[in-house]
Structure 1
């Protein structure tokens, strides 16, 4: 593009199909308290080191606005599809595995996830909620590294959403109010 910002193809949400599947148990539903989640992270850090997580950013077009698909659990918890990588697992292959586990079809047909560029890096310096888009200067051993990847959607896609989740399309401007000027969207 002339601006130098990334160009992404964005498809209409009406072209997507959603079916319900069996409930999914993710880390956020296993560890009900924040303290328990960070205690588990601390125990794993002593065994395997820094946690590596990946999340997929799926952008669609609905009502002429770009939106990000999020999984909603309950009324106040939203997350991007993704999760923890296994030790030594490749980031792109791990994200494909996680996307298939979370949103993949249950009928044996494999979804062809097209993982595009890494669009964000977040670092957790301590066993606490704050994350930063950089490693703070005082941090010598980050506790978690989270990478966000753009996932290109096919013109038609079937999402198998777990019954305990709801797939919602959040307007991009509600997530980051100054982000839209950084990208050139190509609407299909």
Structure 2
């Protein structure tokens, strides 16, 4: 017959207790049904640049005059049949993009972004003139940040070590949608 003995490990450090269940939990994100919102079309806006090279040339001209370009885009989420959907803009029946745009050099980031959202998403026939920014846009957390180190198409989620003056910074923000769109 053998005897089993147990030895407890002892340490001078107190035990690490996990945080409570409610500690460091993410904020609640409410997703509302797609049917709560109205959608429309706007006049076709001509492409600013006929080619990618022309767009990069315009970026270079902007950089010389104003420095690094700042771009903000929004992630707006709703649900259809309990499946999440990200709302995007359809451009010329060719491709889709997130709502947002370049900021003016003098604009505050969040307030300038709200103005760009109003320009892009305001209902047709509204008299948005750049004043009276829709304070109801709930600009949330930054979900991604991309850097354009040179006048090229490539963007990275970091600034490469050899780059001291990036040409563009693009931020993607989560935007909490209201329960439903307002009637015109």
TM-score bucket of the superposed structures, by smaller chain? 0.7 to 0.9
Q: CA deviation at 1:2?
A: 6.7
Retained in 2: the 8 A contact 1:58–1:68? yes
Asked whether 1:128 is paired with 2:152, we answer yes
Rg larger for = 2
Query: Partner of 1:12 in structure 2?
Result: 33
Q: Does 1:146 align with 2:182?
A: no
Q: TM-score, normalised by structure 2?
A: 0.76
Task: Name the structure 2 match of 1:22.
Answer: 43
Kept in 1, the 8 Å contact 2:44–2:92? The answer is no
Q: Comparing both structures, which one devotes a greater share of its residues to helix?
A: 1
CA RMSD of aligned residues (A): 2.3
Alignment coverage as a number of residue pairs: 157
- Unpaired runs of 5+ in structure 1? 161-188
- Unaligned 5+ runs, structure 2: 1-21
Shift of 1:108: 4.2
Within the alignment, does 1:65 sit opposite 2:83 as a pair?
A: yes
Which is bigger in relative contact order (C-alpha 8 A, separation at least 6)? 1
Aligned with 1:130: secondary structure?
Answer: coil
Decide which structure has greater strand share: 1
Question: Secondary structure of the residue that 1:148 maps to in structure 2?
Answer: strand
Partner-residue secondary structure (3-state), 2:32: strand
Instruction: Tell me whether 1:94 sits opposite 2:100 in the alignment.
Output: no
